[in-house]
Amino acid sequence: MRAVIQRVASASVSGKFLKLTPSSTFNLANASNPRIGRDDTAEDVAFIAKKILTLRLFEATDDSTKMWRSNVSDIDGDILCVSQFTLMANTSKGNKPDFHLAMSTEQSKEMYGALLLKLSGMYKAEKIKDGRFGAMMDVTLTNEGPVTLTIDSRKDTTA
């Protein structure tokens, strides 16, 4: 399983606008775009969920000059998850993306639901937001930093 993690100031998905409040450092902390490979398991879900919650992408809560000290739970941030099967694209041959490494739609939907449940169980359920699985969505966000990281539970062995 692969996810793109972005530190953002605000984000919206198909009209659901999530924005930081002026009094807080970050309200919306991470935007995560998970991709699900055809051989991903519950172990991959657990790995990605833990990384989303524990990566230190923010300044120290007591000193804004010290970067990489706090994670999303330290700052009480929100997480927006948007499923994105295109992260599984193989573009090494030709000009058309190949999605043969992606899990089937029904299995992916179950795995994505498992990721949302895992995040909700490990953090605060009300802080986990998501788009609509499998839908064409308008996703808008404002990157901070910019900070954008790619994590992979298989260390890119399936890419």
The two beta strands, 28-35 and 2-13, are antiparallel
Q: Is 86 a catalytic residue?
A: yes
pTM equals: 0.83
Ordered structural domains, the chain, with CATH:
2-152 (3.50.80.10)
3-state secondary structure of 64: coil
Closest CA to 53 of 17, 20, 83, 29: 29
Q: Is 58 a catalytic residue?
A: no
d(CA 154, CA 26): 30
pLDDT digits (tens), the chain, 159 positions: 888 898 988 887 875 655 533 222 233 345 666 778 888 899 999 999 999 999 999 988 888 889 999 999 999 988 888 888 888 888 999 999 998 888 888 888 999 999 999 999 999 999 998 888 888 888 888 888 888 888 888 875 444
Q: Spot the catalytic one: 41, 54, 61, 86.
A: 86
Q: What is the CA radius of gyration of the chain?
A: 16
